[in-house]
Structure 1
């Protein structure tokens, strides 16, 4: 993490394959607590240890972190964010649609399974 980031700073955080914009709340030894304010990239569906494999023991559905949810993020996955933070619900909708487009382009079994999970999340979110 850059030494200039302090509580109150706007940050971009990579967390379990999702990318978020938020506010740095607390700095700890090698991690920081980030309050989520927007979704920049929706989390990838499936097994993170075997990415893009459809034939796995458990094909995980991964929800985006919720508005104002707090996440403990390692410094290596954190950077400053100098843009205006978008409204949460609109950012979630845009990130979800972008992820759906990505999985549809794959045209394989992983993409089909991921799309089904994303459609389920779309119904839950909106």
Structure 2
């Protein structure tokens, strides 16, 4: 069990945060957000990486001092330095953009390979 006032790393709605335990019970912990480690993913979590999903969700990072409930299993003690919220948000946002851009470039390379293979197979490609 985590103690009130303890600093933790917590997973919440595809984001990862550093926060302070405000309350806890046998299943959950209420975490007051102090910093962002990983920005939440965009899109429909039930249709991962589907740009045509019926509801493409925009997910904001939890705000500084926002209190969020997380399952006890999703919070672990954190002993490192706690960065300033604004700087951590900027770093997490930039990392997420780099991650998505890398996937975009990977997708483009895949399409080029498939186009080449389609020509080799004697198939028509629409790209």
Under a length normalisation based on structure 2, what TM-score does the superposition of the two structures give? 0.80
Could you say which residue in structure 2 is the equivalent of 1:90?
Answer: 87
How far is 1:78 from its partner? Answer: 0.7
Structure 2 gaps of 5+ residues are 109-127
RMSD value, Cα: 1.3
How far is 1:29 from its partner? Answer: 3.2
Matches within 5 A, 1:1-126: 3=1, 5-107=2-104, 108=107
How far is 1:41 from its partner? Answer: 0.2
CA distance in 2, matches of 1:10, 1:29: 18
CA distance in 2, matches of 1:76, 1:24: 14
CA distance in 2, matches of 1:50, 1:6: 37
Instruction: Show structure 1 runs of 4+ deviating over 4 A.
Output: none
Structure 1 gaps of 5+ residues are 110-126
Larger radius of gyration: 2
